[in-house]
Amino acid sequence: MDMNGNFPALALNKSACVIGVCLVLLAACSKEAVVPAPAADASAPASAASTPASAPAQASGPVSVVTVRAAKRDVPISVKAVGSVVSLANVDIRPQLTSTIMKVHFKEGQFVKQGDALFTLDTRTDEANLLKAKAQLAKDQAALNDAKRQLQRSQDLVAKNFVSAAALDTAQLQVESQAATLAADAAAVQAAQVAVSYGRITAPFSGRLGALNSQIGSVVQANITVLVNLVKVNPIAVSFTVPQSEWSNLMAAQKSGAKVKIRAALPDQKEAMLGRLEFIDNNIDANSGTLKLKAVFDNPDSKLWVGQFANMSMEVGAMPGAIVVPQAAIVQTARGSIVYAVVDGKAALKPVKILYSAGPDAVVSGVEEGMVVVTDGKQNLRPGSTVVDRQAQAAAKPDAAAPAKADAAK
C-alpha cells in the first residue's frame, strides 16, 4: 500500500486483462481444431482413398422406376359436387274439421301407400247433417213431381179453353222454382258428404310417416293441428350447386338432346346410383356465383334418405381421342408441368399442358399415344438418366430362374 492507500501491484490495466483472456481462449480453440486425420483403412481400395472429397457423387447405376404408356381414348367431361338428399313431397297431415280422433290406422315410421287410411275422426254430427240434407232433397223432389203434374193438367185445360194462359204460366213457374230448390238441396247433400269424408284421413301419396303427434281421444282443430308428417322417398331428389362456369356446358348438353347422366354416391356405398337431371334454376346466385340443380333418382331400396349428403358426378360432355396419362406421372415445376418419358432406356423431360383432370388420370398435350412415362421414382431422375422398369424386372425374374430349376430337376 502506498501513501494514498492504493495497491499498485493489483491495479492492472483493464484492457490488458481483456487481451490476455482472449489470447488464452484463442490458443485453446486452435488446439481443439487441430485434429489428426484418421488413418486410411488398409482394406479400402487405393482408388477410393485417392478420390478427392470435393468430387461430385457419380450415379452408381440405372434408376429403378415404374412406367406406363400414354393412352388415347374418349374422356367424359364431368362436374363433381356435394349435394343433399331432399324429398319431392314433404307434407304435414292436418285435419279439415274440428273433431275428436276415434282411431289411428298406422304405426309411427310406417311406409304407407297412396289412399291408405291414417285417421278416423268423430263425424256423427256431420252424418246427421247429411241425413237431414237428404231428407230435404227427397221432400223437394216430391214437390217438384207434384208441380210437374199440375203443369200437365194446366196444359190440358188450356188446350180445351177451360183456363186462361195465365194459369199455365203459374204452373210452369212452380215447376221451375221447385227444380231450382231441388238443385240447391242436391248441393247441400254434396257439402254434407264432403264434411263427412273429412272424418277419414288418407295418405295423399306413397311415402314414410313420421312421429304421431296426436293420440286417440285428442281433440284436433281444423287446419291447425299437425297429426303426422309424410315424406315421399321413392323417387327421391338430390339438390346441389355447381359453379357458374359450368353453365355453358349444361346448356350445350341440353341443346344436343342427350340426357345428362348424373350419379350419386354415399360415403359408405361402393356403387353410385344413376339418376336424371330434373331442374335447373332460372338464375345464378349473385352471392356465391353458383347455379342450383336438382336430380331425381329411383329409390326402391331406400338407399338415399332425406338429409343425407351425397357425392354428385354429372357428365356434361366428352373429349374424343384425348391423350391420357396418370396424375402420378406429372411433375409440377416453376416453369410448368412436365413428365419424364423413357426413350431408348433413358429419361427424357417432356413439357406438357394439363387440359382436363379426370380422377386419377389427366388429359394432356405434349406427349403422343404409346409414349412410356414414369409414374414412380421420378424424383431420382435427371434428363439422360438410365432407367430400369422394376415391373419388367420382376416379370423377368421367374423366366431367368426357370432354366436353373429345370437343370436341378434333371
- Quote helix, strand, coil % in the chain, to nearest 5: 30, 35, 35
- For domain 94-122+199-228, the CATH architecture is Beta Barrel (2.40)
Residue range 124-197, CATH number: 1.10.287
Rounded Cα gap, residues 221 and 224, in angstroms: 6
Distances (CA, A) of 356 to 247, 254, 326: 17, 21, 12
195 vs 399, more confident: 195
User: Could you report the per-residue pLDDT of 277-324, keeping only the tens digit for each?
Assistant: 888 898 999 999 999 999 999 998 888 999 999 999 888 778 888 999
Beta bridge partners of 235: none
Report pLDDT for 78: 83
- Whether the link from the prior residue into 235 is cis, omega within 30° of 0, is yes
For the cut 90, the answer to whether the pLDDT of residue 70 exceeds it is: yes
Report pLDDT for 163: 74
Report pLDDT for 60: 52
Three-class DSSP labels, 272-292: CEEEEEEEECCCCECCCCEEE
The residue ranges of every structural domain in the chain are: 63-73+321-395, 79-87+231-317, 94-122+199-228, 124-197
- If pLDDT is split at 50, 70 and 90, which confidence band does 408 have? low
* Among the four given CATH numbers 2.40.420.20, 1.10.540.10, 2.40.30.170, 1.10.10.10, the one describing domain 79-87+231-317: 2.40.30.170
Report pLDDT for 205: 94
Q: CA nearest 295: which of 318, 314, 308, 267?
A: 314
Contacts with 182 (C-beta within 8 Å, 6 or more apart), sequence order: 137, 140, 141, 144
Residue range 63-73+321-395, CATH number: 2.40.420.20
Pairing of strands 90-93, 331-333: unpaired
C-alpha cell, 342: 423413357
Among 24-28, 68-72, 366-370, name the one with the lowest average pLDDT: 24-28
Report pLDDT for 151: 86
pLDDT above 70 as % of the chain? 80
Contacts with 309 (C-beta within 8 Å, 6 or more apart), sequence order: 82, 83, 84, 85, 266, 267
